[in-house]
Amino acid sequence: MNRGFPGLLVVLLLIGLLSSAAYCAECLTCHKEKTPFAVLQWEKSAHGKSGVGCEACHGTDHTLIDRGEARVDITVCGHCHGKALSEHQASRHGMALHSGWGCTRNLAERKSDGCRFCHEKGSEIPVSQVQCARFLKQSSEMAEIGCTSCHAVENSCASCHTGHGTELAIVRNPVICAKCHMGPDHPQWEMWQTSLHGTLFSASGRENGPDCQSCHMPSGSHNVSRGITCSSAGKPYDPVKQEGERQEMLRICSRCHAPSFARKELQRDDAVGEQSRKLVVEAEKIVADLAEHSLLDPMPDKRPPHPLNGSNLVLDSQMLYEDTSHIERLLFKMKKYDFAKTVKGAYHQNPAYAHWYGNAELKMDLVDIKSEAGRLKERRQAGGAACDSRPGNPLEENLRALKRKLERKELTPAEFEQQKQLLLK
């Protein structure tokens, strides 16, 4: 919309500004009293100073506004800020809700057009995992504050720019990233602050110590995902895409570091990621094996159904932290907290996050998972009366285990059929 016909655009804009001034006066009569801070922010903003009035973003239908149906989403801002919008949409911020497709699958206004929400065009590798089961388990109040208030970044520029301000000092300050990029699942804010980059930033400014924006929004780009080599669920991209992104990141590192140093550092972090993933997979197999022998306590079919997968065992990125067994919630911590801290800690050059908060926790949780697995197996042998762990029908159990191996793609359909026939003999 902001390309081509610049003459026409200027004319339209001028007409807009003129009528804007008139509308605004009307709005301000009430809003100076009703929402004084919003008015003050707007007055001090580039919008306020250049005459971009209330109705330019909110429209003129007050009934619609009152009903909450005149949302100022990214498309509204994008009318004028087209480049920022397209960069944003190409980034993970631009798919924050449907990265979480499930998060929005129940919203009537969202149109589905197939695969593109989860896959890159022409690729089978998922751009993002469907991560909504946890959202669907929450009360609407917890979902609003705990999920949507961050993931709304997909649709709302105000997530970072604030509602009525345009102060660049705010969005150029790394602290503005903190309100989402912190906490047990992805403490990028905390790990950057105490990394060499972050401490140098605190001690002598951005010139000596790069901040979030320096590396993730070079030249002010709104594509915050450039140079990142794995999906938001932590799965590595395919080699071609991966190498392209790596080149991108090396270009960024090379503004300060020798490229050979930077590549070596990033390769070291890749290795840490790979090693950590193996620990998670080892734990996943232990839990899957217990499930195949009906040893989880409680088994999935004896607990409230999983919002997406019913009574099936769910260990992927749809895994829940609630209504589950003790050993599964240990695995949840490993996957979602420990793994993320190790890998992100390494890429952000934070020794304490990579090693103590990450690697040590991964390995301690693995100790606990093995201990709990041992206990559950022993319990079966003791024939615990109050639990689900009495030996079931051996044939049924073995068939179920076989089917799960097929589902996890550890068997081809042909191998599955062959082994099934052997069992049924």
Q: Judged by CB, which is closer to its own copies: 13, or 178?
A: 178
Residues in 164-193 that interact with its own copies by CB under 8 A: 165, 167, 169-170, 173, 175-176, 178-180, 182-185, 189, 193
346 binds its own copies (CB under 8 A): yes
Q: Judged by CB, which is closer to its own copies: 83, or 255?
A: 255
77 binds its own copies (CB under 8 A): no
Q: Judged by CB, which is closer to its own copies: 76, or 147?
A: 147
Cα separation of 13 and 75, whole Å? 17
359 binds its own copies (CB under 8 A): yes
CB of 223 to its own copies, least distance (A): 22
Q: Cα 243 to the chain's mean position, in Å?
A: 22
86 binds its own copies (CB under 8 A): no
102 binds its own copies (CB under 8 A): no
387 binds its own copies (CB under 8 A): yes
Q: Judged by CB, which is closer to its own copies: 282, or 410?
A: 282
Q: Which of 123, 202, 412, 418 binds its own copies (CB under 8 A)?
A: 202
324 binds its own copies (CB under 8 A): yes
162 binds its own copies (CB under 8 A): yes
124 binds its own copies (CB under 8 A): no
Q: Which of 250, 308, 352, 401 binds its own copies (CB under 8 A)?
A: 352
Q: Which of 73, 120, 245, 323 binds its own copies (CB under 8 A)?
A: 323
282 binds its own copies (CB under 8 A): no
CB of 2 to its own copies, least distance (A): 28
Residues found in the chain? 425
Place of tokens 């009934």: 63
Residues in 284-303 that interact with its own copies by CB under 8 A: 297
155 neighbors 95 (Cβ within 8 angstroms): no
Site string for its own copies, 9-38 (x = CB under 8 A): -------------------------xxxxx
154 neighbors 93 (Cβ within 8 angstroms): yes
For residue 84, give both structure tokens: 């920022």
Cα separation of 402 and 423, whole Å? 10
420 binds its own copies (CB under 8 A): no
200 binds its own copies (CB under 8 A): yes
